[in-house]
Amino acid sequence: MPATMGASTRTAGPGGLRRLAHHTIFWPVVALIALLVANTLYSPDFLAVSILDGHLFGAPIDILRNSAPLLLVSLGMTLVIATRGIDLSVGAVVAIAGALSLSFIATSPNPGSVTTVLVAIAIALGLCLLLGVWNGFLVSVVGIQPIIATLILMTAGRGVAMLITEGQITTVNSAPFKTLGAGFWLGLPAAALIAYGVYVVVALITRRTALGMLVESVGINPSASRLAGVRARTIVWTVFALSGLFSGLAGLILASNVMAADANNAGLFIELDAILAVVIGGTSLQGGKFSLSGTLVGVLIITTLTLTVTIVGISPLVTPLFKALVVIAVTLLQSPRVRERLAARQRQRVAKPEEVAA
């Protein structure tokens, strides 16, 4: 139905809606709205936000908070993918950040103090930045294929996290650290404020300066951009380092959300969700042009989908299938070739009766 609407405006319309329908994130936004509508059908006050204990409370707030880690990881992933790379190690980095920070807080004499928590955060983020730099080194200096280079850390990283937590699930009680993932600032979830804040900063830096264009040029043609004077190596190195840093921040938020570092399950398969969010958002895996707003919509779709499974009451047995069907629907709608076919069929159908009339 929506596809035919786009096609008919192509032949007759003044162009506003048509241009909108051809925007890369049009269909992902439609999918997001459809998910929200489905949830509202099953739970009428789904979109209601109330004030509870001085902060906002409701499903939309849950979605914002739960989307924070995935948004951070996907942000780094978008930049990496734009340079024609991929970062498979993000899930492992998430686990390492949680393990390191919570182990540090657990062994410190004063787990509740703000200083301890800040030091723990600094250590964890520092290490994650280093891990990102390591990935960047393998890709940009040594010249290993990104998928292989980051596979190393993806496999080894969980082992490292396990070493740090000694195979246990580390739990701590620390009010300042808990604020990061489960607390509220100005009535909004702290985790969401951090993640969306980072998102805005990255969006401004890449879109208000030439940096975004340089990243795209490296993705489109590394040799040509190098010959044109772009420091391709530095840019590739930087995006991998940023991906590590953002994943570390995501790991801290995830660990703080439940106040436990689970080396096995924290951030498990988040690399796949992040790649999915980037692709749903319309950034090509072949590098080049990237869309941060698309990634944001992709992240919101994936987070809402998780909540939808519970709200709509999909049986756990078919949950993976249900998620896959939604993803297939979104990607098909987005595919220019599929849209062209649908539009062509629509044109034929419209054209025939006109011939008879003439």
Partner 1 sequence: MARKMWMRGTVAALSATALLALGACSSEQAPAAEGEETTSYDGGETEEAGDELISIGFSQVGAESGWRAANTKSIQDTLTADNGFDLSFSDAQQKQENQIQAIRSYIAQGVDVISFSPVVETGWGPVLEEAKAADIPVILTDRAVDTEDDTLYESFIGSDFVLEGEMAGEWAVEQYDGEGYQMVELQGTTGSAPAIDRKEGFADAISGSDIEVIDSQTGNFTRTEGKQVMEGFLQKYDEIDLVFAHNDDMGLGAIEAIEAAGMTPGEDIKIITIDAVKDGMQALADGKINYIVECNPLLGPDLAEVAQKVVAGEEVEKRIVVEDKTFDQEAAVEALPSREY
Cβ–Cβ under 8 Å, residues 94 and 66:
no
Q: Would you count residue 4 as binding partner 1 (CB under 8 A)? A: no
Question: Who contacts 336 (Cβ-Cβ below 8 Å, separation ≥6)?
Answer: none
Instruction: Specify the 3-state DSSP secondary structure of 311.
Output: helix
Q: 215-254: which residues touch partner 1 (CB under 8 A)?
A: 254
Q: Would you count residue 257 as binding partner 1 (CB under 8 A)? A: yes
Q: 13-42: which residues touch partner 1 (CB under 8 A)?
A: 42
Give the rounded distance of the alpha carbon of 274 from its chain centre.
4
Between CA 29 and CA 330 the distance in angstroms is 10
Q: Which of 319, 332, 347, 350 is in the footprint of partner 1 by CB under 8 A?
A: 319
Q: Which of 86, 247, 262, 334 is in the footprint of partner 1 by CB under 8 A?
A: 262
Q: At what angle do helices 211-220 and 59-82 cross, to 10 degrees?
A: 60
Residues 284-303 as b or e (16 or more Cβ within 10 Å = b): eeebbbbbbbbbbbbbbbbb
Build a one-symbol-per-residue string for 277-316: x at contacts with partner 1 by CB under 8 A, - elsewhere.
Answer: -----------------------------xx-xxx-x--x
CB of 7 to partner 1, least distance (A): 37
Give φ, ψ of 160 to 5 degrees: -60, -45
CB of 208 to partner 1, least distance (A): 35
CB of 87 to partner 1, least distance (A): 15
C-alpha torsion sign, points 8, 14, 16, 19: positive
Binding site residues, partner 1, CB under 8 A: 42-43, 46, 52-53, 57-59, 62, 66, 138, 142-145, 148-149, 151-152, 155-156, 158-160, 162-163, 166-169, 171, 182, 254, 257-260, 262, 264-266, 306-307, 309-311, 313, 316-317, 319
